[in-house]
Structure 1
Amino acid sequence: MELFSDKPGDEGLPGRERALVMAAVMTTTLMAVFDGSMVNIALPQMARSLQVSAPVAVWFANGYLLSAAMTLAIFAALATRFGFRPVFIFGLSLFTLTSLGCAVSSSAEMLIVMRVLQGVGGAATLSIAPAILRSVFPGRLLGRILGLNALLIAASTALAPVLGGTLLGTLSWQWLFAINVLPGLVALGLAINAIPHKPMLNTRRFDVTGAVLSATMLGALIMAANGFAEPHAVNHTLNATITGWSVLALIGGVGFVWHIRQAEQPLLPPMIFRSGRFSLAALTSLASFISQGITFVALPFLFQSVYGYSAFTSALLFTPWPVGIVLVAPHAGRLADKYAPAVISTVGLLVFVVGLALLATLPAHAAAWDIGLRSLVCGMGFGCFQSPNNREMLSNVAREYSGYASGVLAIMRTFGQCLGAALVGVLLAVMATSTNVALEEQAVRMSLWLAVAASGLAILLSLSRLHRHQQHDAQA
């Protein structure tokens, strides 16, 4: 396989060692993404088992998401300070141990604590996974390996509800966590033996102020987004809570930006954003994940409330989306190693927006094959976009800043999906204020058109970087 073939002048590791690192990183990524996505479907069963109310059970999902989001930037900075290997091994060890802790939890309090710690472990691995791959693979293969990584994340996100539903139908909710233990131990053994150890990259004091401001900003954003996604977000008490979190996020964000511009050794160096192509690729990624987040939340309402499908059938209707990604993403990554990644990702966005428009115009009584075909177009478009765009981000910063760039990539993905979910929540709360199915359908279809608009914004951002790329070539 070409990914593991060696050529004279290749940087990184020899082919066999690259294969071991890839196995460790991708196994860990698969577990972390699945655990962040498939628990939602089990919340009712978990609430009954532990005898708690639905609002408490929501924290079985939110605890993981919140702690992961708050620590993504922190672990990206720690990896640059201490090296990828110790941070990744710490994160994987914590994630595996707390997976076992979740599985044996006998109370809601214990499960929430385990989920919060599990999110910290997941953040430590997800924030630097692409950077580790960049460090061990030669530049000529960067697009291909990032294509496989993007494929894994996107497909895992889409397939998680199906796997979760299958496990719940045959076993108990504890198995959603117990299945992580064995592959986690295998991945840990691979990581310890295969990821190269490098000396400390810098010895300056860690930016504690930046870490606190970053965690405050990102955590408050997640809480505000979750508040908007509540079905009764028009409630006055909830409105006050959302406003409070939003103000805190704004204060944290302004403080963080001011701090990193003033600090001698900031948590996230502003210089990585001086590359216009990196910044535009990051913004394009954010807009596209907002679009995907909207779609992944809106479609279950359409499938179940409007079309009358069961929860499990609705999950199956998502299957063509990851199939489209599997079909396209590896080839897109391969092309990105030979041609301009921005061009390939822009083509992918064009296909993606066509697929979203097809979903937004589904007929009143859509057949399963019709839904699947339109979802397939979306998956193919997103698969064509994501890996070249990730390559564009990582290749436009110096190699020593790969950890920071990898963290920004993870943040864009996490918050794009959260903001997308929040937007659907707002529309459902404002428009579908009764049990009227017609109003709910209207809100869902408007959400899908909002996803089309977000992906249209991503196209405009992508086209602007193409223009910048042409100007750079003309000057050269």
Structure 2
Amino acid sequence: MTTGAEAGRPTRLMSLGLVAGPILSMVDSSVVNLAVPDLTRELGRPLDVVQWAVSGYLLALAVGLGLTSYLARRFGLVPTYIGSLVLFTLASAACALSPDAGTLICCRALQGLGGAPLVPLAIGLLIGEGGAATGARGRVPLAAGLAFFAAPALGVSLGGLLIGAYGWRSIFLINLPIGLLALPGAFAAYRAGLGVRGDRAVRPDLPGLVLLATGLGLATYGVERVAAHGWATPSWPAGLALLAAYVLWARRRPRAALALDLVRDGARAATLALCAVSSVVLFAVLFLAPLYLQTIQHHSSLVTGLALLPQGLAMGLSAPLGQRVAERRSVRFAVVLGMVLLTVMTGLMALFTPDTPVWLTTLVLCGRGLAIGFTSQPLVISLLGGLAPERVPDANTLFSVAQRLAGSFGIALLVTFFTTRGAATGSPLTGFHETALVLAATALLGTLGATRLRLPQVS
């Protein structure tokens, strides 16, 4: 009798294990922001200290991303995934039990290190190497699509509910049952031989790892501090300089820490650029929409979270639909369709007023969610298309790094633009409208780029 995996499809238990990890990582990237006021009050430390519970996580997440590709090549996708999931779950328990701010910050850094590999490894196992093993390479289960795309919005909604009802420790405690439920599925994938191949002969590119991890960390940390300290902070230029040094170093290394040779193919480079553009438009609105609902319309954090949640669900539901359109027509057709819809729906945000009903705002955001699902899923398939299974971890890590850098810098630039225009015009609403138009123009540029999209070469 064959198992589900042997029959050509992953079992439900395995899918649960591979989907839960990314949910944990993506939710925790945003949820702690909501708890900062409570942390400041209960831990008795100033804001600039408590803020490190957020900054430390993002810093460690960036460093962990730099290590992901090497760990996956050395130990295999599933063993690395299991180790990361265990570290993240244990660190979550330690965060919930932290007696002071210093302990919390250290535990959050461990969370970031454990959480960094979960998203790229899960993508590789579900639509890359794992898909190849199950006869469904390039296809993502509906549950996975919902998880990957709904998680950022879910973090805001769930976080507000938990903090309001049970306090800040609950946002870490909720990770424990999810992590424990995910482990049996991850071990089932290991026993099925899914993504377990590693090469112990692989040696770390230590200079490259130092340049990449330090550069990503400094760039991410510096950009995250821009809103409070302005662009004069030296961290992000230093981070970009180190990343530039890494690029020069990696050009001479066939198996560098982050495989930049993948973007020598112009089609794959264009695909990665479109991924970055869609990430900027996505993550920026996760900043802009709460600001509009809370600052301009004066809604509560609970109403804001509930208004954002349907957008994430629309993203998840549209991902399989976008995948089918790409298969029946072409990747280019699906991406162009998604980018056009993204341009229109983002442009409609420039028509919002202080009296716009919440349901109408939610409807427009759902339209954006539908567009992102059409765009992101075919682009990921295109990025992985033609790659040998052993190259999938490299491509997934490259995708995650590009997405995080683009999202971080995009949000920082748009926050600066919004603040500047709001102050110049004396109207936050005007600043919001102009920022929405900038985002719509960015999506339009992505649409023009998508019309020239080609499938990457086999490598």
Report matched runs for 1:5-154 at 5 Å: 13-15=6-8, 17-133=10-126, 134-138=128-132, 141-145=136-140, 148-154=143-149
Whole-Å Cα distance in 2 between the matches of residues 5 and 188 of structure 1? 18
Offset of residue 432 of structure 1? 3.9
Amino acid at match of 2:320: P
Counterpart for residue 279 of structure 1? 269
- Are the structure 2 counterparts of residues 372 and 199 from structure 1 closer, same or farther at C-alpha, using a change threshold of 3 Å? closer
CA contact (8 A) 1:344 1:384 kept: yes
**2:209 paired residue among 211, 217, 234:** 211
What's the TM-score, normalizing by structure 1?
A: 0.88
Report matched runs for 1:27-426 at 5 Å: 27-133=20-126, 134-138=128-132, 141-145=136-140, 148-195=143-190, 196=193, 198-201=196-199, 203-230=201-228, 233=230, 239-240=231-232, 242=233, 244-426=234-416
CA contact (8 A) 2:58 2:221 kept: no
Please give the per-residue CA displacement for 1:301-321, whole angstroms capped at 9, x wherever unaligned: 211221121222122221331
Please give the per-residue CA displacement for 1:25-79, whole angstroms capped at 9, x wherever unaligned: 1011111111112111111111111111122222212211111122213112220
CA contact (8 A) 1:13 1:137 kept: no
CA contact (8 A) 2:79 2:196 kept: no
Report matched runs for 1:437-456 at 5 Å: 438-456=426-444
CA contact (8 A) 2:278 2:375 kept: no
Counterpart for residue 463 of structure 1? 451
Amino acid at match of 1:454: T
**CA root-mean-square deviation:** 2.4
- Are the structure 2 counterparts of residues 210 and 135 from structure 1 closer, same or farther at C-alpha, using a change threshold of 3 Å? same
Whole-Å Cα distance in 1 between the matches of residues 206 and 455 of structure 2? 37
Whole-Å Cα distance in 1 between the matches of residues 98 and 428 of structure 2? 37
Whole-Å Cα distance in 1 between the matches of residues 223 and 141 of structure 2? 29
Please give the per-residue CA displacement for 1:378-437, whole angstroms capped at 9, x wherever unaligned: 111111111111111111422220000111121233223212321232124433449x9x
Amino acid at match of 1:228: V
Please give the per-residue CA displacement for 1:163-198, whole angstroms capped at 9, x wherever unaligned: 111111211110100111122122123212322263
Whole-Å Cα distance in 2 between the matches of residues 207 and 463 of structure 1? 38
Whole-Å Cα distance in 1 between the matches of residues 146 and 247 of structure 2? 32
Counterpart for residue 9 of structure 1? none
2:417 matches 1:427? yes
What's the TM-score, normalizing by structure 2?
A: 0.91
Whole-Å Cα distance in 2 between the matches of residues 87 and 325 of structure 1? 28
- Are the structure 2 counterparts of residues 464 and 407 from structure 1 closer, same or farther at C-alpha, using a change threshold of 3 Å? same
Whole-Å Cα distance in 2 between the matches of residues 163 and 84 of structure 1? 29
Matched residue SS, 2:137 = helix
- Are the structure 2 counterparts of residues 396 and 455 from structure 1 closer, same or farther at C-alpha, using a change threshold of 3 Å? farther
Amino acid at match of 2:447: I
CA contact (8 A) 2:346 2:368 kept: yes
CA contact (8 A) 1:66 1:116 kept: yes
Offset of residue 136 of structure 1? 2.2
Offset of residue 199 of structure 1? 4.0
CA contact (8 A) 2:414 2:435 kept: yes
CA contact (8 A) 1:64 1:115 kept: yes
Please give the per-residue CA displacement for 1:93-117, whole angstroms capped at 9, x wherever unaligned: 1000000000000100000000001
Amino acid at match of 2:61: A
Number of aligned residues: 451
Moved more, 220-229 or 425-434: 425-434
Whole-Å Cα distance in 1 between the matches of residues 135 and 185 of structure 2? 24
Whole-Å Cα distance in 2 between the matches of residues 67 and 181 of structure 1? 20
Amino acid at match of 1:172: G
Amino acid at match of 1:288: S
Whole-Å Cα distance in 2 between the matches of residues 369 and 343 of structure 1? 30
Amino acid at match of 1:459: T
Please give the per-residue CA displacement for 1:202-232, whole angstroms capped at 9, x wherever unaligned: 62421011111111221121122112222x5
CA contact (8 A) 1:64 1:119 kept: yes
Amino-acid identity (%) = 26
CA contact (8 A) 1:277 1:392 kept: no
- Are the structure 2 counterparts of residues 137 and 263 from structure 1 closer, same or farther at C-alpha, using a change threshold of 3 Å? closer
Matched residue SS, 2:267 = helix
Whole-Å Cα distance in 1 between the matches of residues 274 and 59 of structure 2? 23
Matched residue SS, 2:196 = coil
Whole-Å Cα distance in 2 between the matches of residues 374 and 42 of structure 1? 28
Instruction: Name stretches of at least 5 consecutive residues in structure 1 with no aligned partner.
Output: 7-11, 234-238
- Are the structure 2 counterparts of residues 146 and 255 from structure 1 closer, same or farther at C-alpha, using a change threshold of 3 Å? farther
Instruction: Name stretches of at least 5 consecutive residues in structure 2 with no aligned partner.
Output: none
CA contact (8 A) 2:77 2:197 kept: no
Please give the per-residue CA displacement for 1:314-358, whole angstroms capped at 9, x wherever unaligned: 222213312322432222223334442232122111111111011
Whole-Å Cα distance in 2 between the matches of residues 377 and 182 of structure 1? 33
Matched residue SS, 1:423 = helix
CA contact (8 A) 1:320 1:376 kept: yes
- Are the structure 2 counterparts of residues 410 and 469 from structure 1 closer, same or farther at C-alpha, using a change threshold of 3 Å? closer
